[in-house]
Amino acid sequence: MLVRVASILQLILLLCAPGMGMAQTQAGSESAGIEETLQDLDRNIAEAKLLDSRISMLSEKDREAMIYRRDQRDFGLLQEMGELAQRAAKLPEDDPQRTVLTRRLQADLGGVIDVIFQRNEELDQRISRLNRELESLTGAPRLEQEAYLFSLQTLQIKSFQAAVDVIEGRKALGLPVNHSLDRLKQQLYTRAEILMGRLEYSAAVESALSDRLKEDSKNAELTAALGSSAMARAEDLQQLSAISTELGRLDLDNSEYKALLLQQGSDLSVRDIEGALVTRLIRESWDSVRVDLIEQAPDLLFNLAIFVVVLLVFQTLSRLTRRAVISACTRSS
């Protein structure tokens, strides 16, 4: 895939040579910017190809590290390709550079999306394998494995970001995105729902652990378990925030995830507080209040009855006291 992309980019680089010129100053600036980006991409692709060619010659441990490095660089390159397409879309529609660029990217950006999905599946397999291995580890090796697992999950987020960049690039050039968008939408929502489930599970675990700690505040194992759960929840919130951002870039509904992030105290900007999010928060708050009212209705009615009785008693006592005072004043006069 990288060889094909390199040849395409080299062809585009020739087409973007300075001798062609531009009719408009802004378009000329975009052309120069695209040329510089292509030069950077050409150099980075050559380095990525070199990394890829060395993987099969390495030991298993070194191979894992090299694959991680390769994926990280490749996803970065694919993000640059998506950005390149968006910048090319700013060129005049009748510009020959835009015409050639659109024609060549029409097929190759679609293939790039398939590569991203394939790499994502490979990441899933590596994460599953490392999770299985995690069960037999303790102490420092387990902590190291957990940290590496989180880095792979972060890399997976980067793959989603690259896919969104490529899709946005195709959109900018007026190219079809429906099939790729449907696949990416499914993957993003699946990942978001997994994270939501894990966060709900973490909340239940932390609540149970906190209750037990109230009864046994000096229990070191409970304290450590609570800290571990809180750390895992923070990592899941970070990933959910990134997924929510990519859903927003694709104009897909992410209000449920934003609502949870807001409830969990995550940083959200003012523009994130939109109509759908406010509506969801109000609805969830009302549902919570309604459930509490239903569950506590008998106690509320009993307390209300006691309150009314107390008021009546005090009112009666007040009247009796007033009459006694008036009577005493009358006799004294």
Which pLDDT does position 294 carry in this prediction?
60
139 backbone φψ class: left, alpha, beta (φ>0; ψ -120 to 50): left
CA angle, 64 then 67 then 73, to 5°: 145
Q: Which helix (DSSP H) or strand (DSSP E) does residue 328 occupy?
A: helix 297-332
In this structure, are residues 116 and 159 in contact, taking their beta carbons and an 8 Å threshold?
yes
DSSP state of 271: G
The per-residue b/e assignment along 13-29, b for 16 or more CB within 10 angstroms, e otherwise, is bebbeeeeebeeeebee
- The pLDDT score that the predictor gives to residue 15 is 33
The pair of structure tokens assigned to 267 is 């940083």
DSSP per-residue letters across 153-221: HHHHHHHHHHHHHHHHHHHHTT---HHHHHHHHHHHHHHHHHHHHHHHHHHHHHHHHHHHHHH-TT-HH
What does the pLDDT read at residue 290?
A: 55
pLDDT score, position 292: 53
pLDDT at site 138: 87
Mean pLDDT per 10-residue section of the chain, whose length is 333 residues: 44 37 47 63 76 84 87 84 79 77 65 84 92 89 89 92 88 82 93 93 90 88 89 91 94 90 66 52 53 60 74 75 70 61
Give CA–CA dist 179/8, Å, rounded: 23
**R_g (Cα) of the chain, nearest Å:** 31
* Distant-in-sequence, close-in-space partners of 183: CB < 8 Å, separation ≥ 6: 113, 117
pLDDT of residue 193: 95
Q: What is the reported pLDDT for 262? A: 84
pLDDT of residue 6: 46
pLDDT of residue 11: 38
**What pLDDT, on a 0 to 100 scale, did the predictor assign at position 164?**
92
